[in-house]
Structure 1
Amino acid sequence: MAIPERFSNLPDYAFPRLRALLSGIEPGGEPMVLTIGEPRHAMPDFVAATMAENIHLFEKYPSNEGTAALLDAISGWIGRRHGIEVSPSRIMTLNGTREGLFNAALALAPEKKKGKQPVILVPNPFYQVYAVAAAAVGAEPVFVPATDETGHLPDYASLGADVLDRTVIAYICSPANPQGSVADEDYLERLITLADKHDFLVFSDECYSEIWREAPPPGALAVATRMGLADRVVMFNSLSKRSNLPGLRSGFAAGSEGNIAQMRRLRSYSGAPLSLPAQAVSTAVWSDEAHVDASRALYQRKYDVADRVLGNVPGYRGPEGGFFLWLPVEDGEEAATRLWREAGIQVLPGAYLSREVDGQNPGQGYIRVALVADEEETERALGRLKDVIYKEGS
């Protein structure tokens, strides 16, 4: 059997491509892997005890949309963090945000819009699940460059009315992966106004929202609520980055009651709910901010390290949030290969996170570096990186 045609033009995922690129090359130093966005800070110290106290709940089937206690905890967190009231009926738990970002498109994207193939807008570069979701629902993905000229956020308003009138979903990530740019309230207001004018939904990927430099990023659902347009936004967040629990696979989606009801309906047929012990742990973790503050302080110190080591590199731009550096280079693949061969440092070519459009790949001249190691290792790795990539005459 042939694979479905809608998936035939998807490029290989970034990390298999990187393995192929570096295959057969010996690292030129102590290996330092700065590719994957897997937090290495300590998880909350109460997680193990909470899991142990609830271990007997593996005997029971879990609730699909989330236990009442967990939904209440998430609702309370949204209220404290974003200053809006979102009832539990407007929230659904997820196995991490990737599941939700994909399945929400299945649940909410119509097969046609105004009798034509629908469009899904994707920032370029982007988290790869956005493009796969578009392919799965038969939508046309339109990749919109998020470059230095646009503040590393997509300028969806620059698209023509013919595209916007077919749009059913626009993805936005803030703080952005990989660039670390934050969509401020003005940007979000313009995007939500555009969505209302052209009748589409905004899927707001906010999984890096609790890692920031100077001020907490605004949430799209909060902005939409103040505008009276909450039905235009579905927000996604998780405990992976906020609480250093990527293996727990625990997140949520929140939006209007109608949109969440449709997502819950699909999930009741095809989703895999979180186990009850995992939901108990999640309830405790969403209810605690002390560990989040401590982890954020560590990232802020690593921002300072990056600024100190790389601040004089032409084109360097420290992130506003998240834990990635988006570093300018001549060619991302060549830089990644040199770093591995000469210094044992593994980074991700920016082109692997982007799509070529009209002969241009906006990630081609970048590498992504994850600030997930401790402060000392981060400083050592960035120093070695600078010596290889940015030394005079290189």
Structure 2
Amino acid sequence: MGAVSSRLPVFPWDKLEPYKATAAAHPGGIVDLSVGTPVDPVPEVVQKALTAASDSPGYPTVWGTPELRDAIAGWCERRLGARGMTHQGVLPVVGSKELVAWLPTQLGLGPDAKVAYPRLAYPTYEVGARLARAEYVAYDDPTELDPAGLKLLWLNSPSNPTGRVLTKDELTRTVAWAREHGVLLFSDECYLELGWEAEPVSVLHPDVCGGSHEGIVAVHSLSKRSNLAGYRSAFLAGDPAVLGELLQIRKHGGMMTPAPVQAATIAALGDDTHVTEQRARYAARRTALREALLGHGFRIEHSEASLYLWATRDESCWSTVAHLADRGILVAPGDFYGPAGDRFVRVAFTATDERVAEAVRRLAP
């Protein structure tokens, strides 16, 4: 076991513990804006679906029920503008982090393969490559990568941590480049329904992919848009050949979404009202925190989508973390997401209204 864990970096969140202790000692308690975990209730329609399906003694299937596949395919067509979605073009997964971490291994990649991801990125892209013993490469522009040996290209729009949204033209150019060079493209779109100053577009949109899903797969999660992080509900949509191979592998691995969660996912994808309501909550928290940070001397870059503000005081990210911890506010240091983030912090607006208001008060001049 040690041989496998030795391939991995130090778990980044462990480094934050001393600052968490400082923030927790604040007289008014900690305001934790470090992790983008939902704090609002699971929508009632979803809870009812989960309860109704709770008597599920048999094994679920890896591919999910036909009703779940219908719900995913229908949502992709309705929300992403995808065309021609079939059951062969969708695959439920047990939360998106599991998929990201194990995808290179499930694709059979190894030391002779390269995995590429954005310069500032969710750390699990690198972890997935390390687990498979593949080479990993960070990029600024994916179309400037050396395609030799490149087997898997990750896009992430809207970005975690920066909130940057790739334009339709950028996505189209990257899809064309990947196809030209025979590179499999996976697009992490888990924050797609949380655009604030831009309207995120999926790689499955026909204006981007030309109506064909060959060589491309989109990754979506219900953790953010439906407060289902605790349910571990996510799915893939795209190239049926790629998803068919993954389905066979995942069958052998027993990677099954629990039957009650499948039923809850159907309910969540079929209801847009709770998404609109949750967006409104996040929009208000975002506005309050953004104004407070700007008033406190921060500069905010990108952040046009997602659940985070990418903020800097033009100093070491750890100095900023310490500065805010002294005020009882915990944020994530930017270097968790790559060396290029070493002067930024990621500020999540997933705390309750009361805690966000408290952070705003503490940031006041």
Tell me whether the two structures share a fold, i.e. TM-score over 0.5.
yes
Which amino acid is 1:3 matched to?
A
Which amino acid is 2:191 matched to?
Y
2:144 to 158, 180, 185: 158
Aligned residues: percent identity? 30
CA drift at 1:2: 5.0
1:308 matches 2:303? no
Closer/same/farther in 2, CA of residues 25 and 369 from structure 1, 3 Å limit: closer
Equivalent in the alignment of 1:55: 54
Equivalent in the alignment of 1:253: 236
What are the superposed Cα offsets for residues 20-71 of structure 1, whole Å, 9 maximum, x if unpaired?
Answer: 55567863342111111101223211223222211111x1110111111111
2:15 to 12, 17, 20: 17
Equivalent in the alignment of 1:118: 113
**Cα separation, 1, equivalents of 2:96 and 2:24:** 35
Answer yes or no: is the 8 Å Cα contact 1:185–1:223 preserved in 2: no
Which amino acid is 1:272 matched to?
M
Equivalent in the alignment of 1:348: 332
Matches within 5 A, 1:221-260: 221-223=204-206, 226-260=209-243
**Cα separation, 1, equivalents of 2:358 and 2:261:** 36
Answer yes or no: is the 8 Å Cα contact 1:212–1:296 preserved in 2: no
Which amino acid is 2:116 matched to?
L
CA drift at 1:11: 2.0
Equivalent in the alignment of 1:107: 106
Equivalent in the alignment of 1:3: 3
What runs of 5+ residues in structure 2 fail to find an aligned partner?
Answer: none
SS at structure 1 position matched to 2:299: coil
CA drift at 1:224: 7.3
**Cα separation, 1, equivalents of 2:290 and 2:235:** 33
**Cα separation, 2, equivalents of 1:383 and 1:187:** 40
1:265 matches 2:243? no
**Cα separation, 1, equivalents of 2:247 and 2:3:** 29
Equivalent in the alignment of 1:184: 167
Which amino acid is 2:350 matched to?
V
Equivalent in the alignment of 2:341: 363
Select between 39-48 and 197-206 the one with higher mean Cα deviation. 39-48
Closer/same/farther in 2, CA of residues 196 and 369 from structure 1, 3 Å limit: same
Select between 284-293 and 46-55 the one with higher mean Cα deviation. 46-55
Equivalent in the alignment of 1:276: 259
CA drift at 1:106: 2.2
**Cα separation, 1, equivalents of 2:2 and 2:262:** 40
Which amino acid is 2:317 matched to?
G
Which amino acid is 1:72 matched to?
D
Closer/same/farther in 2, CA of residues 319 and 268 from structure 1, 3 Å limit: same
Closer/same/farther in 2, CA of residues 61 and 269 from structure 1, 3 Å limit: same
CA drift at 1:317: 3.0
**Cα separation, 1, equivalents of 2:302 and 2:25:** 27
Equivalent in the alignment of 2:87: 88
**Cα separation, 2, equivalents of 1:170 and 1:27:** 43
Answer yes or no: is the 8 Å Cα contact 1:351–1:364 preserved in 2: yes
SS at structure 2 position matched to 1:234: strand
Paired positions, count: 361
SS at structure 2 position matched to 1:230: coil
Q: CA RMSD in A?
A: 2.2
Answer yes or no: is the 8 Å Cα contact 1:333–1:349 preserved in 2: yes
2:356 to 374, 378, 381: 378
CA drift at 1:353: 2.2
CA drift at 1:273: 0.6
**Cα separation, 1, equivalents of 2:215 and 2:349:** 33
Which amino acid is 1:156 matched to?
P
1:328 matches 2:312? yes
SS at structure 1 position matched to 2:230: helix
Answer yes or no: is the 8 Å Cα contact 1:78–1:86 preserved in 2: yes
Answer yes or no: is the 8 Å Cα contact 1:164–1:198 preserved in 2: yes
**Cα separation, 2, equivalents of 1:307 and 1:344:** 17
Matches within 5 A, 1:64-79: 64-79=62-77
1:196 to 179, 182, 201: 179
CA drift at 1:377: 2.9
TM-score of the pair, normalised by structure 2? 0.92
Which amino acid is 1:365 matched to?
R
Answer yes or no: is the 8 Å Cα contact 2:100–2:125 preserved in 1: yes
CA drift at 1:321: 0.9
Answer yes or no: is the 8 Å Cα contact 2:317–2:334 preserved in 1: yes
CA drift at 1:386: 6.2
What runs of 5+ residues in structure 1 fail to find an aligned partner?
Answer: 145-153, 355-360, 388-394
Answer yes or no: is the 8 Å Cα contact 1:27–1:344 preserved in 2: yes
Answer yes or no: is the 8 Å Cα contact 2:333–2:342 preserved in 1: yes
CA drift at 1:352: 1.9
Which amino acid is 1:42 matched to?
P
Which amino acid is 1:11 matched to?
P
Equivalent in the alignment of 1:390: none
Closer/same/farther in 2, CA of residues 382 and 181 from structure 1, 3 Å limit: farther
Answer yes or no: is the 8 Å Cα contact 1:309–1:379 preserved in 2: no
Equivalent in the alignment of 1:220: 203
CA drift at 1:136: 2.2
Answer yes or no: is the 8 Å Cα contact 1:39–1:241 preserved in 2: yes
What are the superposed Cα offsets for residues 165-194 of structure 1, whole Å, 9 maximum, x if unpaired?
Answer: 221111111110011111111110111111
Equivalent in the alignment of 1:294: 277
Answer yes or no: is the 8 Å Cα contact 1:75–1:88 preserved in 2: yes
Closer/same/farther in 2, CA of residues 225 and 62 from structure 1, 3 Å limit: farther
Equivalent in the alignment of 1:338: 323
